[in-house]
Amino acid sequence: MELAKKQGHKRYLPREKFKACRLDLGLTQRELAEIFFVTETTIRNVEAGRGVPAQEFMVKAADFFKADVFELFPEAPLLKHLRKNKFTKT
């Protein structure tokens, strides 16, 4: 967890929270894939941090886990842009 501290994350490295949420619910990767209508490989890739999932997937996962999308996917480039403008009034 030293790397997490160096990168400014309090508890999880990127994507570890996603996996922790899945495990907290007692779901396998296959079961979660069926819930999200994606392949098991997609879930494995998300948990391993390979690539950036689609924004729709990230929002759906945050809703499902009742978690903040920014906590589940802190390294996602698109989310960095949204986070920057999160409190901007339009």
What confidence score (pLDDT) does residue 80 get?
55
User: pLDDT (tens digit, 9 = 90+) per residue, 57-83?
Assistant: 999 999 999 998 888 887 766 555 555
Return the HEC string of 28-89: CHHHHHHHHCCCHHHHHHHHHCCCCCCHHHHHHHHHHHCCCHHHHCCCCHHHHHHHHCCCCC
User: pLDDT (tens digit, 9 = 90+) per residue, 20-42?
Assistant: 999 999 999 999 999 999 999 99
- The pTM (predicted TM-score) of the whole model is 0.70
84 Cβ contact partners less than 8 Å away, ≥ 6 residues apart: none
What confidence score (pLDDT) does residue 69 get?
87
Q: Can you tell me the distance from the alpha carbon of 7 to that of 11, in angstroms, rounded to the nearest whole number?
A: 11
pLDDT band for position 1 (cuts 50, 70, 90):
very low
